[in-house]
Amino acid sequence: MDVRAQVSMVFHLDKCIGCHTCSIACKNVWTDRKGAEYMWWNNVETKPGTGYPTAWEDQEKYKGGWEKTGDKLEVRAVGKVRGAMTVFHNPNLPTIDDYYEPFTYSYQDLFDAAEGADQPIAKPISMITGKPMKIEAGPNWDDDLGGSPVYAANDPNLENISPEERDAVFELKNLVFFYLPRICNHCVNPACVAACPSGALYKRGEDGIVLLSQERCRAWRFCVTACPYKKTYFNWGTGKSEKCILCYPRLETGQAPACFHSCVGRIRYFGVVLYDAEKLESTLAAEEKDLVMAQRKMLLDPNDPAVIAAAKSNGIGEDVLAFAQRSPVYKWVVEWGLALPLHAEHRTLPMLFYVPPLLPVMAATGEKGYDTTIEGGFLGTIDKFRLPLRYMASLFGAGNEGVVRYALRKQLAVRTYRRAVTVGDVTMEEAKKLLAEAGCSVEQAEAIYYLTSIAPVDDRFVIPPMHREEAIEMLDSPLAAKGFAGMGFRRKPERGA
Amino acid sequence: MLNVLVFAALPYVSAVLFLLVSIQRYRRDPFTFSSLSSQFLETKGLFWGSVPFHLGILTLFFGHLLGFLFPRQMTLWNLVPVRLFILEASGLAAAFLTLFGLGGLIVRRVSTPRLRTVTTPADILVYLLLLFQIVTGLWVAIALRWGSAWYTQTVVPYLWSLFKFQPEIQRVTELKLAAQLHIGGAFVLFAAFSFTRLVHALVAPVPYLWRPNQLVIWNRLRGGARF
């Protein structure tokens, strides 16, 4: 057993209100720079929708992720040989127009305009050319289903549902959406790392954070194509790729990443999980529909004495193990089976998991508005959800409806149970019957309820000690780096010649 | 005097600049080692520029290198007229391909407003030097035909004499102007090489082809890359 520790995340989508506070926190800290204006390491998109960059899930166009042919796993489009063929021009590289041209406004015109009959206006100015431009896209252009006939209707996941279901989703009085906040998944089998010809991308051994060395990046751009989530970005100013660093400087001082810390809806959970690196190959060999379960099985029980012993012999500290035992992620993903990886079919083993949303739940509106007398009571039934189960399975189940159904059913049961406790319009027998059917004990229901609704910050963000005191930089002389920018990077990030 | 400067002094100046600057730049400022790809801002035109340019210039580079390393073998190869013809024709084709590509790249750079913001003076220098090199090269290929035959008899011994620190400049000073310009231009290009984005050729990712897929680096192990 080759036990490794991996920092991991859960986003509870039922709690996301789509406020974009996470995006702004990240933008202010990391990407408010020339060449990075268009980057949103954290973005929030509306589903159904095309997201950011536009239609990033359309792998016919972007060719991201891994491709399994027989037993062989290869990076799609930009693997070793395929990459060598496209190094001079990469046909699958998204361009700035697939994201959006960053813009500001000529605010000074509001002050400097000559007196006249009309109000002065601030014209949109391109942040690339500095010239006036027409704004045609933005990072959340189809927010809240804005322009849904144009944008949301092109959501690649909708291809998996029937035309009738499609029509139902976009029927005006039934209009339905939820939010999907996305950051780098810090995958266990990252396609970006495998695709980087210069070895600039790497996984940090101690915590599994995927980082991109600015000093080794040579702008071969394969990482941008290889990431199926389009979470590596090309800085057009410096000529280097960049990505989410999971705020590792914050983590190393025991603070949650900026997007986690600022989350208004408290939808985010952070914890460390253990996995067996020896099981990677068998996990990746799984059939597409089994991928979610295979990934779950790859995660090790932090309370198992055999796992603890193997982890210790692999150099994982006792204190890290203690944090792994308290990890909320392990509970959501493994113990409860509620949190699922996004688009697991790309075989990158993403370590950001989503609790699929229950809301909005009502399947049909009667003549007099919502009809709560239909089957399933006030929540309706899973099969009559306004967003079809197959759509959810396309996002969170790698096509497997079973895992999504299990997660939704358990959430429904917990909710009904809590309604029996607090409101009382459902009998306790009925609630317990639902719990039993969903494979959930009363204790587990209470624990799910606690972590969903009550948990204070220390229960949501269980940040393991990062042991910076053992890092190699600690052996370097601090005086040698006095007056420099820190974090191992000692020059102004300006474009080279 | 000019001949001594260009063919005896300049080669050493450019070699020293090339070696020292690129090594020092790699050690002190690895951040500036980048191909500085602009495909993200403009992709369609790049295809018609970058692909023919790179294929062409790599063919030409290795053609010159082969002649330099194996002059005897190349001479022997050229003894049969058909073979000489094939070699000359492929060289000429590669040169036209390079010119076509470079022309495309220059047109693209000038006509795309977005690219102006990412164009540095060094980029313009690179374009001018490469254009000079390709135009003089084509001039040589067309006006002074069968270059692959006389190259191994004149320029290659001269280049080797440079490595022996006994420059035999008379081997090239008697060549026609076109050839002299092409050789002198090469030394200037060589001298400017490490000051420009051309350094990306030095870090071409060849080892990637046999590297393991995943790369894990441990904080607590010095130099501890483990796969």
Q: Is the pLDDT of residue A376 over 80?
A: no
Whether the CA torsion A158, A162, A163, A166 is positive or negative: it is negative
Write down how long chain A is. Answer: 497
**B208 neighbourhood in chain A, CB within 8 Å:** 80, 83, 196-199
Q: A112 CB contacts (<8 Å, ≥6 apart)?
A: none
Which of 214-243 (A) contact B at CB < 8 A?
Answer: 214-221, 224, 234, 236-240
Q: What pLDDT is attached to residue A387? A: 82
Q: What percent of chain A has pLDDT over 70?
A: 91
Closest CB to A219: pick one of B36, B53, B116. Answer: B36
Encoding tokens for residue B55?
Answer: 């294929």
Contact flag B43-A88 (C-beta cutoff 8 Å): no
Show the tokens assigned to A33.
């720079």
Confidence of residue B16 (pLDDT cuts 50, 70, 90): very high
Query: Per-residue pLDDT averaged across A409-420, rounded?
Result: 92
Count of residues in chain B: 227
The minimal CB distance from B40 to the residues A130, A236, A315 is found for A236
Residue of B nearest to A94 (CA): B40
Q: DSSP label at A312?
A: H
Domains of chain B: 2-226 (1.20.950.20)
Return the structure tokens found at A397. Answer: 């189940």
CA-to-CA dists, residue B102 to A10, A12, A467, B56, B96, angstroms: 50, 52, 51, 10, 10
The radius of gyration of chain B from alpha carbons, rounded to an integer in Å, stands at: 20
Pick from B132, B167, B157: which is nearest to B6 by CA? B167
> Each residue of B5-40: b (16+ CB within 10 Å) or e?
ebbeebbeebeebbeebbeebbeeebbbbbbbbbbb
Which CA distances in Å does A461 have to A253, A455, A456, B15, B31?
13, 10, 9, 57, 34
What is the structure's pLDDT at A477? 65
B94: left (phi over 0), alpha (psi -120 to 50) or beta: alpha
Whether residue A200 is predicted with pLDDT greater than 80 in this model: the reply is: yes
Cβ contact, residue pair A471, B224, below 8 Å: no
Contact criterion met (CB below 8 Å) for A263 and A44: no
For residue B46, pLDDT beyond 70: yes
Chain A contact probe: residue of B40, B123, B197 with most A CBs at under 10 A = B40
Distance from CA of B97 to the nearest CA of A (A): 14
Percent of chain A with pLDDT over 90: 72
What is the per-residue pLDDT for B79? 92
- Would the pLDDT of A483 be above 80? no
Task: State how far Cα B128 lies from the chain centre.
Answer: 13
pLDDT score for A81 = 86
Residue matched to tokens 């990505």: A243
pLDDT at site A13: 96
Q: What is the pLDDT of residues B120-132, one digit of tens each?
A: 999 999 999 999 9
Can you give the pLDDT at residue B222? 47
Kindly tell me if the per-residue pLDDT of A345 is higher than 90.
yes
Q: How many CA atoms lie within 13 A of A447 on its CB side?
A: 13
A150: pLDDT confidence band, cut at 50, 70 and 90? confident
* pLDDT of A338 over the 90 cut: yes
Measured CA to CA, the distance from residue A196 to residue B214 in angstroms comes to: 10
What mean pLDDT, rounded, does chain A reach?
Answer: 90
CB interface of A with B, residues 278-337, below 8 Å: 315
pLDDT at residue number A283: 94
Residue range B173-194: average pLDDT?
96
Residue A181's DSSP bridge partners are A44
Which DSSP helix (H) or strand (E) runs through A169? helix A163-169
Give the model's pLDDT for residue B224: 42
Which pLDDT band, with edges at 50, 70 and 90, does B98 fall under? very high
Interface predicted TM-score (ipTM): 0.91
